[in-house]
C-alpha cells in the first residue's frame, strides 16, 4: 500500500493469475507432443528404449500399407467439395424460409449429434451384403442394384465417403445457415431490384459474404478427413476389405496397440500432425484474408 492508502500491484501479479492455466495447457498439450516426437526416434526392445534416430520414418517410407493409408486419406478429401456444395445448396434453400424450414434444419442436423460409432453400427445393418437395403432392392425386383457395399474393394471407400457426408452435412448446413441469417438482407433486396435472378443473387451477393465461414468449414472438414475418421473406419470396415479403407489413424492404432511398435506409431503420428498443422495454417490464412477483404 502506498502513501495515499492505495493498493499497488506487483508487475508479476497478472502472470500469476494465468499461471495455472498455462501449466494445465503445458501438461495436456505440450507434454504429449514432446513425447510423440521423442517416441518417434526410439524403438521399444523389451523393457528398454533404444534410440534409433530416423529408422522409424525410414521403415514407414518403405511400407506399402502406410502409402495406401495416406492415399485413402487423400481420397477422402474429395468429400470436402461435395460437402461444401451440398451444404450451400441446402442452407440457401432453408434461408429462403421454405415452409417448415426450422423442422428441416433440425432433421438435417440430427445425424451430426450422433456419435460416429453409433452411425457406423446402423449403416452396417443397412449396407451389408444381406442387409436391409439389399433385401428391399431384391424384394422389389431391383436385385441388380443390390451391391456388396462394404465387402467389395472398389465400393468400400466410396460407401464410407457417403456415410461421412451424410453425417457431416448437418454441421455444414447449420453453420452456413447461421452465417446467412446474420447477413444484412438489404443487399439481397437490392440485387433483386436490379433484376438479379435466384442464381445471380446468391452467387454474387450471398456467397461472397460467407468467405470466412466457408473457409473455416472447408478447413475443418479437411482436418476431419485427414485425422478424425477412425470411428467410421474401425466400426464399419475395420480397414478392409484388404487395405481398401485403411487410414493413417487406423495404421497408428494397429502399430501402437496391436503390434506394440510405439516408435513406428509415433512416427506416423508426427507426420499426421505436420499435415494437419499445415492445413490449419492454410485455413487461418484464408480466414484472415477473407476478413481483411470485408
DSSP-assigned states of every residue in 109-172: HHHHHS-HHHHHHHHHHHHSTTSHHHHHHHHTT-GGG---TTTSHHHHHHHHHHHHHHHHHHHH
Residue 52: which of 41, 44, 61, 62 has the closest Cα?
41
Instruction: Tell me: pLDDT of 293 over 70.
Output: no
Q: Which residue has the cell 467389395?
A: 152
Q: Are 138 and 94 in contact (CB under 8 A)?
A: no
Q: What is the pLDDT of residues 66-114, one digit of tens each?
A: 999 999 999 999 999 999 999 999 999 998 888 888 898 889 999 999 9
**How is residue 196 written as a grid cell?**
438479379
pLDDT level of residue 6 (50, 70, 90 thresholds): very low
| % the chain with pLDDT above 70 | 94
**How is residue 255 written as a grid cell?**
502399430
Note the CATH architecture for domain 58-293: Orthogonal Bundle (1.10)
Average pLDDT, the chain: 88
12 or 33, greater pLDDT: 33
Q: What is the pLDDT of residue 16?
A: 81
Q: What is the pLDDT of residues 34-72, one digit of tens each?
A: 889 999 999 877 778 889 989 999 999 999 999 999 999
Give me the residue spans of the domains in the chain: 58-293
Q: What pTM did the predictor assign?
A: 0.87
Instruction: Tell me: pLDDT of 141 over 50.
Output: yes
Q: What is the pLDDT of residue 246?
A: 96
Amino acid at each position: 500500500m502506498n502513501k495515499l492508502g492505495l493498493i499497488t500491484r506487483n508487475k508479476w501479479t497478472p502472470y500469476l493469475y494465468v499461471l495455472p492455466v498455462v501449466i494445465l495447457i503445458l501438461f495436456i498439450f505440450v507434454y504429449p507432443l514432446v513425447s510423440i516426437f521423442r517416441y518417434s526416434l526410439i524403438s521399444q526392445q523389451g523393457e528398454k528404449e533404444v534410440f534409433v534416430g530416423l529408422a522409424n520414418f525410414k521403415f514407414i517410407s518403405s511400407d506399402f500399407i502406410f502409402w495406401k493409408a495416406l492415399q485413402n486419406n487423400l481420397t477422402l478429401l474429395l468429400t470436402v467439395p461435395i460437402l461444401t456444395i451440398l451444404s450451400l445448396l441446402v442452407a440457401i434453400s432453408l434461408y429462403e424460409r421454405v415452409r417448415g424450414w426450422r423442422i428441416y434444419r433440425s432433421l438435417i442436423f440430427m445425424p451430426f449429434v450422433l456419435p460416429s460409432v453409433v452411425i457406423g453400427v446402423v449403416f452396417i445393418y443397412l449396407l451389408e451384403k444381406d442387409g436391409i437395403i439389399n433385401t428391399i432392392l431384391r424384394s422389389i425386383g431391383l436385385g441388380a442394384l443390390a451391391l456388396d457395399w462394404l465387402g467389395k474393394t472398389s465400393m468400400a471407400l466410396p460407401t464410407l465417403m457417403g456415410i461421412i457426408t451424410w453425417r457431416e452435412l448437418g454441421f455444414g448446413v447449420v453453420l452456413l445457415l447461421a452465417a446467412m441469417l446474420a447477413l444484412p438482407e438489404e443487399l439481397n433486396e437490392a440485387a433483386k431490384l436490379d433484376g438479379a435472378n435466384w442464381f445471380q443473387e446468391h452467387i454474387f451477393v450471398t456467397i461472397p459474404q460467407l468467405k470466412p465461414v466457408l473457409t473455416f468449414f472447408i478447413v475443418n472438414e479437411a482436418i476431419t478427413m485427414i485425422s478424425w475418421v477412425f470411428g467410421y473406419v474401425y466400426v464399419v470396415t475395420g480397414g478392409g476389405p484388404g487395405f481398401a479403407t485403411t487410414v493413417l489413424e487406423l495404421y497408428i492404432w494397429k502399430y501402437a496397440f496391436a503390434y506394440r511398435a510405439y516408435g513406428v506409431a509415433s512416427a506416423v503420428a508426427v507426420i499426421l500432425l505436420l499435415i494437419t498443422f499445415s492445413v490449419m495454417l492454410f485455413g487461418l490464412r484464408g480466414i484472415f484474408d477473407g476478413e481483411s477483404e470485408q
